[in-house]
């Protein structure tokens, strides 16, 4: 038996090891040259015996168990040759290389880039990564915890014993790392961290985990390496053009868990394979160009809909493996559908196993609650002034776009990031260095994020959910803007839904709710959103918001959607809105597919399909970035609640939209048009095909040589009740 001299530095180190206080395991474990020779010490609690063998399996030297420190085994190597620990456990034997025989694995460049917040391949170096080191396969674990006294990786592979795999501290960056040989993908793990005050924290999930347990379980999973055989070269080559400001973009927004439940299982969830089979054809048939998912990054609480994520690099295990998500994206691209993910860089939940007080101190979050705590959502706010945090988040954005070929990120709650006083009373916020309310760190982060994405993921887009008048959200970074590709037009959404809810008899007093948006429609590159936020928290469904009986509600929606699809701006519709779902959305339910048994609701679905197809094929309707592409024909007929306007693009035939937002038909309504001749009624929302009364203009109308609205010729029309007409010149 090996004796360790009582009172020696070595004894003190092993005392600390047994008590869980050792913070420099490489100083005492593994091989060390001593006057006695090359001494190897290993901590193997519960082992019956151990010895060192060569890589060929031949015995090199026995190891003796320490009398004074249970679990410590010691042996002497005759030279510096590689060795394998042969361990006899009570019920099995194990051969493995010694974690403490390996030097640092992360390169100095890795450490430098991480410290500078510029390591864009962070996920493949930090977290848990299967790799080969010195010819040995295993897993490298690396985690940032600069204020910790000790960090250990624990899991099933070491009986969740924090003394077994204590990590090496890379002092210059506060990063801890260890290579665990012969470990494979699929292993559960967490980090055991002793905080700055010596207290062992609740076990922490890996901030850079690429796979997780299925909630409510909270362990991280070592992701098995996968190399997906992508078949989307054609899509990726033309993606930049397909997502440009002059391209048709119509987005179907989806909460993946509640879009459709598996047959016979009201609480079940379709996995990525099931979603590929069901969702992709459903989105493709009506001509949507993109699917946008509410956040699919792993989140502990399903009721947050994903907006309180804790794993910024891991697709939720609710829907399958990361590779299966890649398969879903690839299938979307083969169907010419882009994929956008909602992404949340503004805040994170306070769950003890997550980022909160990660090393016992405010690390990812601000320490001052006036900066670091979000009162509305009871979450912590990322400290974007720390380079490491900024780099962590930007690396996450790049990871989704590159690893999974995702086509865009919709950045959540940008307004809450931009203003230090967002949803705070006087005295509850800290001014910036100039005494202002602008969050300069967030501005810098968003600009840098968009610049990096532009460089690292060309053709990908970013979309800001931003509800204020902050200037230049979608202006280029080099021109002083935030650099987003698009911005949600929250003002348009608010005003037009407010108008929709009015009884038609009162709409004359709210006429400007539909016209006001054109005053700023070209100040940014906009997406017009009818999002999930508009069908929750007592707001009711879009259908329920419209006045009148069922027929009138659907007619209102048909006219309103035609207004939306002919208005400048890309389109976004939350699931269920396309069929006029009657009740408010619930994440515990599913889309009310049963309403499609009724002609009016099925007709609304057909109208959305036809609007998408018209929008896609008529360049004038998706020529969004040019103010010259829109002209009011009738914008002031408040008494009759009629609107008419022209959409056009260079070298293209114009489209004219006329909308009657009252249930009274308008006979002999004259509007001026830019071209003489025949005009075809290419879409009439009052068609019986859509559930309407079939009032209209028999398909073709001839201009008269009567000047109106600044044009030398005009059309005399029948305007159906609560309906929209879209006209095109016949030749």
The 3-state DSSP class for residue 565 equals: helix
Kindly tell me the burial class for residue 705, based on how many C-beta atoms sit within 10 Å of its own C-beta (0-12, 13-18, 19 or more): exposed
Q: Please, which residues bridge with residue 408 across strands? A: 340, 461
Structure tokens at 402: 């590159």
Q: How far apart are CA 180 and CA 191, in angstroms?
A: 14
Residue 523's CB is within 10 A of a number of other CB atoms, namely 16
- The alpha helices in 404-511, defined as continuous H runs, are 414-418, 440-456, 490-500
Residue 671 CA to residue 644 CA, distance in Å, equals: 8
CA distance 137 to 188: 18
Catalytic, 263? Answer no
Told to judge if 121 belongs to the known catalytic residues of this protein, a careful annotator would answer no
Report strand pairing: 338-343 vs 127-133: unpaired
Strand 290-293, strand 250-254: pairing: parallel
* CA dist., res. 633 & res. 550, Å (int): 31
Phi and psi, residue 332, nearest 5°? -60, -45
Let me know if 199 is exposed, middle or buried by CB neighbors in 10 A (0-12, 13-18, 19+): exposed
**Given the residues 465, 524, 610, 618, the one annotated as active site:** 465
Q: Residue length, the chain?
A: 731
How far apart (Å, rounded) are the C-alpha atoms in residues 648 and 663?
29
Please state whether 636 falls in left (phi above 0), alpha (psi between -120 and 50) or beta: alpha
Phi, psi of 231 (to 5 degrees): -120, 25
The first and second tokens of residue 442, run together, are 């967030």
Task: Of 243, 329, 261, 327, give the one whose Cα is nearest residue 293.
Answer: 329
| Residue from 253, 342, 371, 412 carrying the catalytic annotation | 412
Q: How far is 111 from 107, CA to CA, in rounded Å?
A: 6
Question: What residue spans of 227-349 are helical by DSSP H?
Answer: 233-242, 272-284, 322-334
Residue 284 sits at φ, ψ, to 5 deg, of -70, -40
Distance CA(634)–CA(647), nearest Å, equals: 13
Residue 651, sorted as left (phi over 0), alpha (psi -120 to 50) or beta, turns out to be: left
Give catalytic residues, as residue numbers.
Answer: 412, 465
């Amino acid at each position: 038996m090996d004796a360790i001299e009582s009172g020696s530095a070595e004894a003190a180190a092993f005392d600390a090891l047994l008590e869980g206080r050792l913070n420099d395991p490489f100083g005492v474990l593994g091989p060390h040259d001593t006057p006695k020779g090359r001494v190897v010490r290993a901590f193997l609690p519960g082992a019956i015996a151990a010895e060192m063998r060569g890589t060929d399996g031949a015995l090199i030297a026995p190891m003796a168990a320490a009398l004074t420190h249970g679990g410590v085994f010691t042996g002497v190597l005759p030279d510096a040759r590689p060795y394998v620990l042969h361990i006899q456990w009570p019920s099995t034997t194990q051969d493995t290389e010694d974690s403490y025989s390996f030097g640092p694995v992360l390169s100095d460049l890795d450490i430098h880039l991480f410290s500078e917040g510029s390591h864009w391949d962070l996920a493949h170096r930090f977290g848990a990564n299967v790799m080969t080191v010195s010819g040995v396969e295993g897993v490298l674990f690396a985690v940032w915890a600069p204020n910790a006294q000790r960090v250990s990786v624990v899991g099933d592979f070491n009986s969740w014993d924090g003394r077994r795999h204590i990590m090496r501290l890379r002092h210059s960056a506060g990063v801890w790392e260890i290579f665990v040989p012969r470990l494979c993908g699929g292993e559960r793990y967490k980090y055991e961290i002793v905080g700055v005050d010596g207290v062992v924290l609740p076990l922490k999930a890996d901030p850079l985990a690429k796979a997780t347990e299925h909630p409510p379980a909270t362990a991280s999973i070592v992701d098995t390496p996968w190399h997906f055989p992508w078949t989307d070269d054609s899509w990726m080559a033309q993606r930049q053009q397909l997502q440009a400001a002059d391209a048709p973009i119509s987005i179907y927004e989806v909460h993946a868990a509640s879009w459709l439940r598996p047959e016979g299982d009201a609480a079940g969830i379709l996995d990525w394979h099931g979603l590929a089979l069901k969702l992709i054809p459903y989105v493709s048939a009506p001509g949507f160009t993109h699917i946008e998912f509410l956040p699919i990054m792993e989140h502990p609480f399903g009721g947050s809909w994903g907006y309180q994520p804790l794993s910024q690099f891991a697709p939720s295990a609710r829907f399958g493996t990361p590779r299966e998500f890649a398969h879903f994206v690839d299938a979307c691209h083969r169907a010419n559908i882009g994929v956008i993910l909602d992404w949340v860089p503004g805040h994170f939940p306070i769950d003890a196993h997550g980022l909160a007080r990660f090393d016992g101190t405010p690390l990812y979050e601000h320490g001052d609650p006036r900066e670091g705590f979000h009162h509305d959502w009871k979450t912590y706010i990322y400290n974007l002034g720390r380079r490491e945090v900024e780099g962590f988040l930007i690396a996450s954005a790049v990871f989704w776009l590159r690893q999974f070929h995702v086509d865009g990120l919709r950045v959540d709650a940008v307004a809450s990031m931009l203003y230090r006083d967002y949803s705070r009373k006087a005295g509850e916020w800290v001014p910036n260095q100039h005494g202002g309310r602008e969050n300069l760190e967030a501005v810098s982060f968003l600009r840098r994020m968009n610049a990096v994405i532009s460089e690292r993921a060309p053709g990908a887009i970013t979309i800001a959910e931003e509800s204020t008048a902050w200037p230049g959200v979608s202006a280029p970074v080099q021109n002083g803007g935030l650099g987003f590709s698009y911005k949600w037009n929250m003002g348009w959404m608010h005003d037009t839904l407010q108008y929709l809810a009015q009884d038609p008899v009162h709409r004359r007093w709210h006429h400007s709710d539909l016209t006001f948006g054109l005053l700023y429609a070209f100040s940014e590159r906009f997406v017009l959103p009818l999002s999930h936020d508009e069908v929750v928290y007592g707001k009711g469904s879009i259908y329920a918001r419209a006045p009148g009986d069922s027929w009138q509600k659907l007619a209102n929606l048909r006219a309103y959607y035609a207004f939306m699809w002919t208005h400048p701006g890309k389109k976004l519709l939350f699931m269920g809105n396309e069929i006029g779902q009657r009740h408010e959305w619930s994440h515990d339910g599913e889309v009310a597919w049963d309403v499609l048994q009724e002609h009016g609701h099925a007709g609304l679905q057909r109208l959305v399909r036809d609007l998408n197809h018209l929008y896609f094929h008529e360049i004038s309707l998706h020529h969004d970035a040019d103010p010259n592409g829109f002209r009011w024909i009738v914008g002031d007929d408040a008494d009759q609640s009629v609107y008419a306007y022209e959409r056009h693009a260079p070298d293209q035939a114009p489209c004219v939209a006329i909308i009657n937002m009252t249930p009274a038909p308008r006979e002999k309504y004259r509007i001026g048009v830019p071209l003489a001749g025949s005009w075809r009624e290419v879409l009439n929302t009052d068609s019986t095909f859509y559930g309407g009364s079939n009032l209209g203009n028999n398909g073709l109308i001839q201009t008269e040589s009567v000047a109106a609205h600044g044009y030398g010729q005009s059309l005399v029309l029948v305007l159906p009740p609560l309906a929209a007409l879209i006209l095109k010149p016949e030749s």
